[in-house]
C-alpha cells in the first residue's frame, strides 16, 4: 500500500491533508480533534495583532456548489491565541496563519507563532473581504516580496504564502514570493463573490463583498496549481473544493505536494480526512504508485 507521508520543504507530515485556515481551528481542542480525525496538520485561523470582531451578520450562507462568507477575519488577537496554539501543538503539527497591514506586523506575528510552537507560518495575503489586509497586499508582487522577506528574516520556521485567485498575475506574485524567501505557496483562497436578495434588491452580506468556497471553485484551484507548478520550484499546497480523494488527486497531479480541506469539513464532517486517506491508499495500490510524491505533477509533465 502506498505511503501517505509527504514533505512540504522541511515540514514532514504523516498524512497529506490539512485543515484549511478558518475551519475548526479556533481552539486548541478543536485543532486536536481534527488531528485525531485524520488530518496531517491543522492551519490555525488567521490571527492578527489585536482582537477583531469581524463583520456583523449576515456573513455566511450556502450557495449552489459551495458557500459564501464575509467573516472579516474575526480573531482573539495574537496574545490570547497563544494558549490555544500551545494546547494544539502538543498533539501534532500546527501551521500558524497570520494577517497584518505591514511587513513589520507580519514579521512580529510570525515570530509569535513560532514561539507558540507552529511548525510553519502561513501568510494570509488573499482574503477578499477584509479591507486593509488580504488582497490589497497580495496582488502587488513588490508588496508581497517585502512582506515575505521581512517574515523570512524574523523566523526560522518555513514561510508559506497563501495567494488569491482574484488576479491575472498569480504566477508573477508567486515568483516574487519565492525570490523573497517563501518556502511554499498555498493556492487558492476564496474567489471574490456576491449574493443579492431580489426581494430586497440588496446584497445579502453585511459587507456586500464575500468569498466563494466549496466544490464549485475546484477547477479554478486546480488550474492555479497547474500554472504555479510551471512557474515556481518551491512546494505548492493545493486548496479549494476538496471533498474526496479524487478531488485531492486532481490537485496532487496538477503539482501540489499536499492539500488543505476547508468547506469539505463543514459538508462532510471531520471524518472527511479518514475517507480521503483511505481513498488515496486504495488508488495508489490499484495504480502502482508507491507514495504521494510519485504522483505530484504527473499530469503536468
Which set of grid coordinates corresponds to residue 176?
A: 516574487
Q: Which domain holds residue 21?
A: 6-54+73-189+215-300
Instruction: Give the span between the Cα atoms of 133 and 101, in whole angstroms.
Output: 6
pLDDT value of residue 201: 98
Give pTM, 2 decimals.
0.96
**Is the residue at 268 inside a domain?**
yes
| Statement: residue 135 has pLDDT above 90 | no
| Statement: residue 130 has pLDDT above 80 | no
User: Percent of the chain at pLDDT above 90?
Assistant: 94
**Is the residue at 159 inside a domain?**
yes
State mean pLDDT over 22-27.
Answer: 93
**Is the residue at 122 inside a domain?**
yes
Q: What angle do CA 248, 257, 174 make, to 5 degrees?
A: 110
Tally of domains within the chain: 1
* CB-based contact 191:209 (threshold 8 Å): no
Which set of grid coordinates corresponds to residue 203?
A: 446584497
Question: What is the CA 7 to chain-centroid distance, rounded?
Answer: 16
**Is the residue at 210 inside a domain?**
no
**Is the residue at 108 inside a domain?**
yes
| Statement: residue 281 has pLDDT above 80 | yes
Reply yes or no on whether 127 is catalytic. Answer: yes
**Is the residue at 63 inside a domain?**
no
Domain with 115 in it: what CATH number? Answer: 3.20.20.70
* CB-based contact 268:275 (threshold 8 Å): yes
| Statement: residue 267 has pLDDT above 70 | yes
- Phi and psi at 211, nearest 5°, equal -115, 130
pLDDT digits (tens, 9 = 90+) for 179-229: 999 999 999 999 999 999 999 999 999 999 999 999 999 999 999 999 999
pLDDT value of residue 133: 65
**Is the residue at 62 inside a domain?**
no
| Statement: residue 169 has pLDDT above 80 | yes
| Statement: residue 128 has pLDDT above 90 | no
**Is the residue at 61 inside a domain?**
no
| Statement: residue 132 has pLDDT above 80 | no
Amino acid at each position: 500500500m502506498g505511503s501517505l507521508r509527504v514533505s512540504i520543504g522541511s515540514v514532514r507530515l504523516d498524512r497529506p491533508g490539512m485543515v484549511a485556515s478558518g475551519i475548526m481551528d479556533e481552539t486548541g481542542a478543536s485543532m486536536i480533534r481534527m488531528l485525531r480525525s485524520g488530518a496531517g496538520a491543522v492551519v490555525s485561523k488567521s490571527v492578527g495583532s489585536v482582537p477583531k470582531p469581524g463583520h456583523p451578520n449576515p456573513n455566511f450562507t450556502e450557495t449552489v456548489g459551495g458557500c459564501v462568507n464575509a467573516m472579516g477575519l474575526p480573531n482573539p488577537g495574537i496574545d490570547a491565541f497563544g494558549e490555544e496554539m500551545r494546547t494544539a501543538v502538543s498533539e501534532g503539527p500546527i501551521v500558524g496563519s497570520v494577517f497584518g497591514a505591514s511587513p513589520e506586523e507580519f514579521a512580529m506575528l510570525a515570530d509569535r507563532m513560532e514561539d507558540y510552537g507552529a511548525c510553519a507560518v502561513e501568510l494570509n495575503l488573499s482574503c477578499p473581504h477584509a479591507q486593509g489586509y488580504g488582497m490589497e497586499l497580495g496582488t502587488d508582487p513588490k508588496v508581497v516580496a517585502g512582506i515575505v522577506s521581512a517574515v523570512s528574516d524574523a523566523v526560522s520556521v518555513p514561510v508559506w504564502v497563501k495567494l488569491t485567485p482574484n488576479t491575472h498575475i498569480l504566477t508573477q506574485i508567486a515568483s516574487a514570493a519565492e525570490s523573497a524567501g517563501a518556502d511554499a505557496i498555498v493556492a487558492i483562497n476564496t474567489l471574490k463573490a456576491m449574493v443579492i436578495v431580489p426581494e430586497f434588491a440588496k446584497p445579502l452580506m453585511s459587507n456586500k463583498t464575500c468569498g466563494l468556497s466549496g466544490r464549485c471553485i475546484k477547477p479554478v484551484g486546480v488550474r492555479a496549481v497547474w500554472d504555479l507548478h510551471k512557474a515556481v520550484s518551491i512546494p505548492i499546497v493545493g486548496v479549494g473544493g476538496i471533498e474526496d480523494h479524487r478531488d485531492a488527486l486532481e490537485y496532487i497531479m496538477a503539482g501540489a505536494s499536499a492539500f488543505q480541506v476547508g468547506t469539505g469539513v463543514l459538508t462532510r464532517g471531520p471524518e472527511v480526512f479518514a475517507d480521503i486517506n483511505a481513498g488515496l491508499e486504495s488508488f495508489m495500490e490499484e495504480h502502482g504508485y508507491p507514495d504521494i510524491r510519485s504522483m505530484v505533477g504527473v499530469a503536468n509533465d
